[in-house]
Amino acid sequence: MKPLDELKLIAFDLDGTLVDSAPDLALAINAMLVDLGRECFDEVTIRHWVGNGAEVLIKRALSGSSIVDNTLSESLYRQARSLFEQHYCEKLCVASRLYDGVAESLAAFSQRNIPMAIVTNKPNLFTPGLLQQIGIADYFDVVLSGDSLARKKPDPLPLQHLLDHYQLTNQQMLMVGDSKNDIQAAKAVGCRSLGLTYGYNYGEDIALSGPDFVADSLVELVELIDGSVTA
């Protein structure tokens, strides 16, 4: 069997995979911390806290560490969450940008009539707006946010939902992401995965998570697909 000759669907992570959203997330987190009278953090630090959804990001910021302080009060978290949502909604796509190779690669997949979906841990409050503002919303048939279903990545539920929705076998779907959460979800559901070397993976080499393919750019996936078809 050729590498991707059965491919019928590409599922993409969003933050760290298609969009470098860390600059705007950092702005919103720091605005929240200022409102709470707390210490701010540089963007590099906040980048290492992104990837597990807004709740974990906020709690890491309140803890000042990638390890969440379990003594944080629920009332503080709720106050912080409200402030973060306000700030991030106001400036959802100010400094965020598509990673190099993303725009042309999505266009190439579309031209090849390959269905595409989003599977992100980002809350639905933000996901559609970011996709629309950054100009790629029309590429995706299905968008699953972190709160669209009962569980999010690394749980396999969102990917299983896609398999059921499109009536596919697990080998007909490819999960593309930058984080071990994406690779773990793919392994759990039995589909193949491509790990990108950039993005937000807590400082870890994505290859350590054991994806089926590793790439520095989505352009490499276009080449891999074309090679599978023509080989």
Active site annotation includes 13: yes
CA 119, CA 44: separation in Å to the nearest integer?
Answer: 24
The predicted model scores a pTM of 0.92
CA 96, CA 25: separation in Å to the nearest integer?
Answer: 9
Which member of 13, 15, 24, 182 is catalytic?
13
Contacts of the segment 212-221: beta carbons below 8 A, 24+ positions apart:
213/3, 217/99, 217/100, 217/101, 217/105, 218/99, 218/101, 218/102, 218/105, 218/106, 218/176, 219/101, 219/104, 219/105, 221/10, 221/105, 221/176, 221/194
Do residues 177 and 196 touch, judged by C-beta distance below 8 A?
yes
HSE of 118 in the Cβ direction (CA atoms, 13 Å)? 29
Q: What is the pLDDT of residues 90-149, one digit of tens each?
A: 999 999 999 999 999 999 999 999 999 999 999 999 999 999 999 999 999 999 999 999
Q: What is the pLDDT of residues 64-93, one digit of tens each?
A: 999 999 999 999 999 999 999 999 999 999
Amino acid at 43: E
Mean pLDDT of the chain: 95
